[in-house]
Amino acid sequence: MSTDDALFDAPGPHEAGGAGWGVAPSSGDDVERVARWFTDHPDLEDRFSAVFRQSLDEVMDGQRTGRYDVSVLEKTEKTYLGTKVEIVCRAAFGLARGEKMDYRVCGVDVDAKFSLDGKWMIPREAMGHLCLLMAANDRESAFTVGLVRIREEILTQGGNQDHKRNISATGRSAIKWLFKNGKLRKNLLLGLDDATRNALENVSAGQSRVDQLFRQVHGRIVDRNAVVTAAKQLDAPKRVRDARHRLAPEGVIILGHQNESPRIAKALRLPVPEKGTWVAARVVPAPQVTDRPQVSIGDASYVVAEPTESRRPAPVIRY
């Protein structure tokens, strides 16, 4: 032992085994420092939400496959999802490559580890290094992100055939959580009730299914990915424009982010769409006396229709 060693925590029995790693003197500080680098981003939750939303949507590839449930992915796709998250996260934060691990953050090597179920598989190469632990649960619209230094004592015994091991139940207490229950942007199609989803799946993919989506799903933000997944086609804006024409006789309006849309959405107390998203509603001319929010369009006032009110053609809107 060199004299310097006396400054460190006494190594545990495994660490003394000469495996070539140990708890670095600054390990606790490194975790704090890297955590702070991330938490210094004021939009951190949105950024991670976008990383997971984008990664899940790209691998499900709804535009080609119509899939919106990550549980139906093939094994190779689930494995690849970890790589995709690593790539998208690197781009989202502009991270450099580490010397040995995926990223370099404040001069520290950090490995990216993604898992759908939060059971991260830690490879031997990560021993002694920091890991950015990431998980996303699309059904719960939730994600977790944490930082930990991989040490023998936080891992389970054994390991799988690739010699990867999990973080043990007690080892989890060593994780510095950035988000234990971060808000993942909703997967609209996955969150539909069974009746709505069945009705949707009974219509063949394409424009008709997009029409059906906007005929049924009202008052909720519908994003580009939901549209191309329903269509199994590119060009969501075109699908939406066509749906507007086709649903206008039924009184359905589909508001976007431009022109008259935001004003109408606000007045009707609907969510106001951002670029690349839409919100639909069925409207009827406002009754003479009503408590419902109203909006003037052209010469008349409109309200969101009650289910029992009969169909009236939609007003002409400058979308």
Closest CA to 187 of 232, 153, 240, 137: 137
Whose Cβ is closer to a second copy: residue 60's or residue 217's?
60
Q: Select the span of 44-52, 81-89, 118-126, 291-299 touching a second copy (CB under 8 A).
A: 81-89
Taking the complex as a whole, how short is the minimal distance between the CB of residue 122 and a second copy, in angstroms? 16
Whose Cβ is closer to a second copy: residue 41's or residue 64's?
64
109: helix, strand or coil: strand
Q: Does 173 bind a second copy (CB under 8 A)?
A: no
Q: Which tokens sit at 19? A: 């495996």
Tell me, residue by residue from 203 to 242, as one string, x for binding to a second copy by CB under 8 A and - for no binding.
-----------------------------x----------
Q: Among 4, 40, 43, 74, which residue sits at the site for a second copy (rule: CB under 8 A)?
A: 74
Pair 312, 294: CB distance under 8 Å: no
Q: Among 87, 127, 142, 286, which residue sits at the site for a second copy (rule: CB under 8 A)?
A: 87
Alpha helices in the chain (DSSP H): 27-39, 44-60, 62-65, 75-93, 194-201, 207-216, 224-231, 236-247, 261-267
Tell me, residue by residue from 91 to 120, as one string, x for binding to a second copy by CB under 8 A and - for no binding.
x-----------------------------
Whose Cβ is closer to a second copy: residue 124's or residue 220's?
124
Residue-wise over 232-249: b if at least 16 C-beta within 10 A, else e?
bbeebeebbeebbebbbe
Q: Does 266 bind a second copy (CB under 8 A)?
A: no
Whose Cβ is closer to a second copy: residue 12's or residue 206's?
206
Q: Does 201 bind a second copy (CB under 8 A)?
A: no
CA distance 158 to 177: 26
Token look-up 């502009």 returns 94
Taking the complex as a whole, how short is the minimal distance between the CB of residue 104 and a second copy, in angstroms? 16
Amino acid at 20: G
CA distance 4 to 44: 39
Residues that bind a second copy (CB under 8 A): 61, 64-65, 74, 76-77, 79-80, 82-83, 87-88, 90-91, 232
